[in-house]
Amino acid sequence: MFNQLKTTLLLGLLTGVLIGAGYWLGGSSGAIIAFAISAAMNIGSYWFSHKIVLSMYNAKEIPKEENPRLHAMIENIAMSAQIPKPKLYLIDMPVPNAFATGRNPKHAVVAVTSAIINLLDESELKGVLAHEISHVKNRDILISSVAATIAGALSYIAQFAIFSGSFFGGSDEDGGNPFGAIVIMLLAPIVATLLHMAVSRSREYLADETGAHLIGDPRGLASALQKLEDFGRNAKLQGDPKHQATAHMFIINPFKASVLMSLFSTHPPTAERIKRLTGSVK
- In the residue annotation, 272 being an active-site residue is answered as no
Residue 55 Cα distances to 50, 51, 111, angstroms: 8, 6, 12
Please say whether the beta carbons of 125 and 73 come within 8 A: yes
Long-range contacts of 185-190 (CB under 8 A, 24+ apart): 185/25, 185/158, 185/161, 188/17, 188/20, 188/21, 188/154, 188/157, 188/158, 189/151, 189/154, 189/155, 189/158
Check residue 46 and report its DSSP letter.
H
User: Comparing C-alpha atoms, which of 149, 196, 245 is closest to residue 7?
Assistant: 196
DSSP-assigned beta bridge partners for residue 87: 109
Q: Where are the alpha helices (DSSP H) in the chain?
A: 2-24, 28-56, 68-81, 114-119, 122-137, 140-164, 178-215, 219-234, 241-244, 259-262, 270-279
Q: Parallel, antiparallel, or unpaired: how do β-strands 109-113 and 87-91 relate?
A: parallel
Give burial (CB, 10 Å; 0-12/13-18/19+) of 194: middle
Terminal alpha carbon distance of the chain: 20
Q: Which of 132, 173, 229, 272 is catalytic?
A: 132
**Residues designated as active site:** 132
